[in-house]
Structure 1
Amino acid sequence: MRPAQRRPLGGGPASDPERARAEAGRRELRRYCAASRLNRLGTLTYRGEGCHDPRQARRDVGLFFRTLRQELDGKPLSYLWVPEWHKAGHGLQLHFAVGQFVPRRASRAAPSSPRRQRTLHPRGPRPLPTSPSRTRVSGDSGSCR
């Protein structure tokens, strides 16, 4: 009797290519965060009717990080941010990771968008747990008031 042939893992076409691309993207983000030691997470949300324009959100988050860098004495700041559509239809919220302690006064220096009179409101950043065991990080993702 002949032993069953083993098929190598991976290398073939994915059964769900869209899911495979999403997982690859998340894997790349995790690796970037680990390599850059981005271990403090925060969320930026909009007050009022929110922001439904991805371009405006990109401009606002760019202004937020430029202002934050100035508040931190202009030193280089490693960060990563990703947009997410708010579950309640409020528009976009922006999740970010930074690699250093950010005092609350500095993170509260979020600029307002001059065109739409919207203000980004930060939550966090909070440090990730440092226990050696695998710890699931969970937090509330509501907007800041």
Structure 2
Amino acid sequence: MKMLLSKNVKMGRSATIYWDQVAEKPYIPQVPRYIQSTKITSTTIESPTILAGAIRGASIQGGTITSDTTIDVGTNLSVGKEITLQGTGNKTIWFSGMRGAITFDYQNDAFEIGSMNGLNVTGGRIYENGITVATTEYVDKHVVARFG
């Protein structure tokens, strides 16, 4: 026995409709099984992992950011304590359109500093193994080069 209901139907507290009795069921998306604990509200997404082509925001905060690709910083980079360049082989920091660079030569365990327009040494002294080898007064008056 079927009953056809259209408008103005009120059901009492003990009335029950079973899902298999609904003829034209609305589409209710299912959460994929691999999503275990994601919560989405009107202002936040909480999830242990979020995969996306792009994540944008005025402020992205967290404990660790890991990348196996290039990270492009469009304005300023502020580092609290240190920058560590991992692995072996030479490491280089390039400045403004490759007009200058600081390279750590891994094989010779030495820094190489290059510039299109020369090198200014500031700070008072040049040290080698903790021993002063030149002062700024000396460098101002002489060409300093050490080989060997």
TM-score norm. by structure 2 comes to 0.22
Structure with larger Rg: 2
Higher helix share: 1
TM-score norm. by structure 1 comes to 0.23
Using CA pairs below 8 Å that are at least 6 residues apart, which structure has the higher relative contact order? 1
